[in-house]
Amino acid sequence: MIDATHDARRRSFIESANGHPDFPIQNLPFGIYSKRGERPRGGIAIGDEIFDLKIASEAGLLSGEAKRAAEAASGPRLNGLFALGAGPRAALRARLADLLDAAGAERRQVEAMRPLLLSRATDCELHLPARIGNFTDFYAGIHHATNSGRLLRPDNPLLPNYKHIPVAYHGRASSIRVSGTEVHRPNGQRKPQAATEPDFGPCRYLDYELEMGVWIGPGNALGAPIPVGAARDHIAGFSLLNDWSARDIQAWEYQPLGPFLAKNFATTVSPWVVTPEALAPFRVAQPPRPEGDPRPLDYLMDAADQLTGAFDIALEASIVTAAMRASGAAPHRLAASNARHLYWTVAQMIAHHTCGGCNLETGDLIGTGTISAPDGVGSMLELTRGGREPATLPSGETRRFLDDGDEVIFRAYAKRDGFAQIGFGACRGRVVG
Ligand code: MN
């Protein structure tokens, strides 16, 4: 639903918000932050600052549903807010847009409280947005599935189930960390093709996966599937997600039950939860399936979801090596992609996840799968064709996979004519040995 909160003419009295690539007044994403020596609590990103929800609520700036939502976001996790669903969340968004508006009726009152209500983001630490009970990672990026399948099966890259089932694996919630957390190169069993026996040691083929993360809002009861047409009501918001992957460990362990140690050592998410409300202008139709592809089974098909269930969100992955950092070089963009390249909508993923009765819980995290494009890939595996064709960086360095000291940075932006651009902030992780 497009409403006054999306009006591109709106400006904030917080100057850094106006024209901000990520956090103008039209975005207002939720996150958990803390100032030095204080407890983590809920806030909203606005320009280069963070607006405190607990203080706003206690100061009497909020009422009704908006106050209920802010109170649910006043603690160290956003699960309470996520559980409330769209109504209170949208009411809080509308109220915050008015409070932060340069032409807002209460501007003077809010400005007078600015030292209490607002903090510079650079003075704050950001935390995981929610307590994550479960993490499921899909495989819905068809270009990634095709590119990586081709490395194993040149003539038949996609397995027969791919166009019928939103394929996924159950991941590990305990090792999910917020952007900025170092990623330790995992040890594990490796068996190069030429070797007859495996050995144990550090992963040699460490990789990233460019994905979107989906935060679950209200859950469903065990045995009560979420119909595809109702799945939207269960989404609390979106972040960026890096599904770090140890390709050599994966190649040896993945048959017959799928990834295990290759993916359970670290997953990074960006700290800000961009709401479905903020993304409303950037919904697009799910691209039509190519001629000859099967029609999904009925439980995965909903007319409204097909019309507006995809998102036009530009994605990019960049790298900064230790040498680049030492010389002050800017991050080098490895690839650009777009969330439109997902073969399944998020609603289809949720409907499939729950169709057998599995219960999703508030705060659960779903990964979309690596999102590659026809002209941009979301992993080193694809970029270097399994390590066979090293990539050369502007620094002159080459990479088959990630080296210690390499930092991987994801960013994402939603743009549409007539609307303010919004972004997700960075999803960063540096590899350490
Ligand atoms: Mn993945």
> Letter for the amino acid at 41?
R
Q: Parallel, antiparallel, or unpaired: how do β-strands 135-138 and 365-367 relate? A: parallel
What number of CA atoms fall less than 13 Å from residue 366's CA on the CB side? Answer: 31
**341 catalytic per annotation:** no
- Determine the pLDDT at residue 152: 83
Q: pLDDT tens digits, residue range 271-281? A: 999 999 999 99
How many angstroms separate the Cα of 13 from the Cα of each of 47, 72, 234?
10, 26, 33
Cα–ligand 1 centroid distance for 336 (angstroms): 17
Q: Work out the percent of the chain whose per-residue pLDDT is above 70.
A: 100
By the 8 A CB rule, do 117 and 56 touch? yes
Question: Per-residue pLDDT tens for 91-141?
Answer: 999 999 999 999 999 999 999 999 999 999 999 999 999 999 999 999 999
CA of 139 from ligand 1 middle (Å) equals: 6
Looking at the fold, whether 118 and 156 belong to one and the same domain comes out as no
CA 144 – ligand 1 centroid, Å: 10
- Among the residues of 168-232, which ranges form H helices? none
pLDDT digits (tens, 9 = 90+) for 137-153: 999 999 999 999 999 88
| Domain edge (last residue) among 109, 127, 145 | 127
Q: Are residues 161 and 13 in the same domain?
A: no
pLDDT digits (tens, 9 = 90+) for 344-359: 999 999 999 999 999 9
Give percent of the chain with pLDDT exceeding 90: 99
pLDDT at 153: 87
Question: Which CATH number covers residue 122?
Answer: 2.30.30.230
Å from CA of 64 to ligand 1 middle: 40
Average pLDDT over residues 228-252: 98
Instruction: Indicate if 63 and 204 belong to the same structural domain.
Output: no
pLDDT of residue 394: 97
Question: Final residue of a domain: which of 127, 155, 174?
Answer: 127
Q: How many CB atoms lie within 10 A of CB 357?
A: 11
For residue 201, the surrounding DSSP H or E stretch is strand 199-202
Overall size of the chain counted in residues: 433
Tell me how many domains the chain contains. 2
Between vectors from CA 309 to CA 242 and to CA 278, what angle results, nearest 5°? 70
Range of the domain at 99: 4-127
Considering the domain architecture, whether residues 367 and 413 belong to the same structural domain is answered as yes
Ligand 1 centre distance from Cα of residue 349 (Å) = 14
Q: Which residues are 316's β-sheet partners?
A: 336, 411
Q: Does residue 266 have a pLDDT over 90?
A: yes
What span, in angstroms and rounded, lies between the C-alpha atoms of 299 and 212? Answer: 23
Q: Is the pLDDT of residue 18 over 90?
A: yes
pTM value?
0.98
| Residues 118 and 140 reside in one and the same domain | no
| Residue among 20, 127, 144, 341 flagged as catalytic | 144
**Do 42 and 63 fall within a single domain?**
yes
Sheet with 118-120, strands from edge to edge, namely 118-120, 49-52, 41-46, 30-35, 124-127
- CA of 171 from ligand 1 middle (Å) equals 9
Which residues fall within 8 angstroms of residue 119, CB to CB, at 6 or more apart?
Answer: 33, 35, 43, 49, 50, 52
For residue 96, how far is its CA from the centre of ligand 1 (angstroms)? 35
Looking at residue 251, its pLDDT comes to: 94
Q: What is the pLDDT of residue 15?
A: 98
Strand partners, 46: 49
Identify the bridge partners of residue 284 per DSSP, sorted by sequence position: 310
367 CA → ligand 1 middle, Å: 7
Domain CATH for 247: 3.90.850.10
Q: How far apart are CA 397 and CA 293, in angstroms?
A: 42
- Do 111 and 143 lie in one domain? The reply is no
Last residue of a domain, one of 127, 158, 188: 127
What number is the average pLDDT over the span 284-309? 97
Whether residue 23 has pLDDT greater than 90: yes
pLDDT averaged over the chain?
A: 97
CA of 245 to the centre of ligand 1 (A): 8
CA–CA–CA angle 428, 431, 433 (5° rounding): 160
State mean pLDDT over 294-303. Answer: 98
Close Cβ partners of 195 (under 8 Å, ≥ 6 residues apart): none
262 is written with which tokens?
């290759």
Tracing tokens 């983590």 back to the chain, one arrives at 40
CA of 254 to the centre of ligand 1 (A): 13
> What is the pLDDT confidence band of residue 403, given thresholds at 50, 70 and 90?
very high
Domain identity same for 163 and 266: yes
Measure 141 CA to ligand 1 centroid, in angstroms. 9
**Do 155 and 120 reside in the same domain of the chain?**
no
Claim to verify: residue 117 and residue 151 sit in the same structural domain: no
Residues 185 and 205 in one domain: yes
In the predicted model, what is the mean pLDDT of residues 283-292? 96
Dump pLDDT digits (tens) for 31-80. Answer: 999 999 999 999 999 999 999 999 999 999 999 999 999 999 999 999 99
The Å distance, Cα 145 to ligand 1 centre, comes to: 10
Same domain for 86 and 214, yes or no, is no
